Amino acid sequence: MDKPSENPMTKLISLFAFLATTATLVACGSAIPHSPMLDSEPGAGAVLTRAPRTLRLYFEDLPDVDRSALRLVGPNGEHQLRGMHTMAADDLMIEILDPLTPGDYTVEWTTVIANDPTVYTGKFDFTVQERP
Ligand SMILES: [Cu+2]
């Protein structure tokens, strides 16, 4: 009596599919320049019901404050930011001067990380929702 067994061809096809996916990921990974930003407040893609008053970006190592820049662009254009500083050994922090109204925001950042001459840039978005 034959037991139902897995078709070896199906196994082979899924193995090839896996390898192709892996190869694509590796290829894409090497094409995207490395980003030293690890985390942020607000987080990338965050949907907030309370408008943030500061931006804080966390990096792999100490950012050079003097050679770093942050921009915050929202539905009413660019927001005024004040007093960029570092709070710990790995972050940039800045105060948002004018209150954020509901809408989509983009943070654009430029930084130089300790002992690395590369100028890194990146951006991320967050959303401020109307308060219920
Ligand atoms: Cu601070």
Residue boundaries of the structural domains of the chain: 1-32, 37-128
Q: How far is the CA of 88 from the centre of ligand 1 (A)?
A: 9
**Residue 88: φ, ψ to 5°:** -135, -145
Return the structure tokens found at 111. Answer: 């930084």
Q: b/e string for 83-119 if b means 16 or more Cβ within 10 A? A: ebebeeebbbbbebeeebeeeebebebebbbeeeeee
The identity of residue 83, as a single letter, is G
Q: Which fold has domain 37-128?
A: Immunoglobulin-like (2.60.40)
Q: How far is the CA of 56 from the centre of ligand 1 (A)?
A: 8
Q: How far is the CA of 62 from the centre of ligand 1 (A)?
A: 14
Q: Full-prediction pTM beyond 0.85?
A: no
Q: How far is the CA of 102 from the centre of ligand 1 (A)?
A: 24
Q: How far is the CA of 104 from the centre of ligand 1 (A)?
A: 23
Query: 38-92: per-residue pLDDT in tens?
Result: 999 999 999 999 999 999 999 999 999 999 999 999 999 999 999 999 998 899 9
